[in-house]
Amino acid sequence: MSSTVSSAPFSKAVVGAMRKLYPEALADKAWDNTGLLLESPFDPIRRQMNSALLTIDLTKAVADEAIERGDSVIVAYHPIIFRGLKSLSLADTQQQTLLRLAAEGISVYSPHTAIDCAPGGLGDWLADIVSGTPMSAEELAAQAEEKQKEQAKEPETPSQGLKRPTAQLQHHPSQLSIKDRTLKLGNDTHTRRPITPCKAPGYENTTAGMGRIVRFNTPQPLLEIIDRIGRGLGNPKGFPIAIPQGKTMEEIDISSVAICAGSGGSLFSGLGKNGEEDVDLLFTGELSHHEALAAIEQGKCVIALFHSNTERGFLHGVLKPQLENAVKEEWERVRQEEKNKAGLSEDYLEALEDDHVEIHVSEVDRDPYGIMISKDEI
């Protein structure tokens, strides 16, 4: 007689809550691989805690963290499985991580571009930081409605003495959010819209979409925007900024900002072309040398924080409290639904009786790049 194989019931609750918060229909399935990437079977001998671990990247260190605590599921923003696999081998570090997690009964879920695209998601979180003025869901919806009635608007690198790095490598402390830090709020109103509106059924004519364009009613000093970004993303010791040659940061005012978490090159490529509105500032995690050079030659400024440093603070500031609330409700639903099924083992039924819920943000997840700080600057 064959036994039914099922994942841990709490993992089902976390996945269900994530799908309600950030529907997979919002993800760009043309290239992205979102969803439940590893569904590990429930193991009564190695029963996991009712806890989930949030991370940007699922590395070996993050897997160790989840295994040590006994988390039931990892919500990894970036998909650890991106392309088709022909085998699973211990020789490959990512595949090794997946195999270890499966053996421990830990599942893996990736939301990626569903979070990027969602109203109130990662794009709007970054727009809140840039503008210094968070917008409510009602305000975002009102702007989306107004945008439908409007026609699209047509509208020297600063010297830095090179110092030999002699001290320590510092990684970006982007584990705090706009809610955790005091931002210098802009006294100005602004509008925002997606760079590429979402075309998924049911999301047309909403604020869903990839990237954001923030347009200020009154131009804002570049230094003021830099200060907002620094405060909003954990006051990093430094990050790359590119400005047109012959200009100084003190004299530059910004009327519009294009925002893309992670890597913005492809999303920004259509700005100013074929009737698309252009912007003064590109804000992203990374831009290639030639993309940045082209931007400043066109008179734009560029702020790049390293890829995942534009993403990580969202976990603490937005996703953790969201998921804590959503998963409690979903866990109650899953418990009632599962209890009505026939043939459940005593161990599985025991797991359903556990009403404890924990959501953690990884303490070891970080961008691979750090900034070497000279002893003179410490």
Burial class (CB in 10 A: 0-12, 13-18, 19+), 38: buried
Sign of CA dihedral 334, 329, 357, 316: positive
C-alpha 13/C-alpha 334 separation (Å) is: 6
- Pairing assessment for the beta strands 358-361 and 51-55 based on DSSP bridges: parallel
Burial 80-96 (b: 16+ CB within 10 A, else e): bbeeeeeeeeeeeebbe
- C-beta separation of 7 from 42 below 8 A: yes
Backbone angles phi, psi at 139, to 5 degrees: -65, -40
- C-beta separation of 130 from 214 below 8 A: yes
DSSP state of 41: B
C-alpha 174/C-alpha 312 separation (Å) is: 6
Q: Say whether 171 counts as a known binding-site residue.
A: no
- Strands of the sheet containing 107-110, edge to edge, are 35-38, 107-110, 73-76, 51-55, 358-361
C-alpha 15/C-alpha 21 separation (Å) is: 10
Burial 155-165 (b: 16+ CB within 10 A, else e): eeeeeeeeeee
Q: CB-hemisphere CA count at 13 Å for 26?
A: 29
Q: Say whether 190 counts as a known binding-site residue.
A: no
Q: Say whether 227 counts as a known binding-site residue.
A: no
Backbone angles phi, psi at 322, to 5 degrees: -60, -50
How many angstroms separate the most distant Cα atoms in the chain?
78
C-alpha 193/C-alpha 209 separation (Å) is: 8
C-alpha 210/C-alpha 133 separation (Å) is: 20
Q: Say whether 116 counts as a known binding-site residue.
A: yes
Binding-site residues, please?
78, 116, 307, 311
Binding-site residues for a divalent metal cation, please?
78, 116, 307, 311
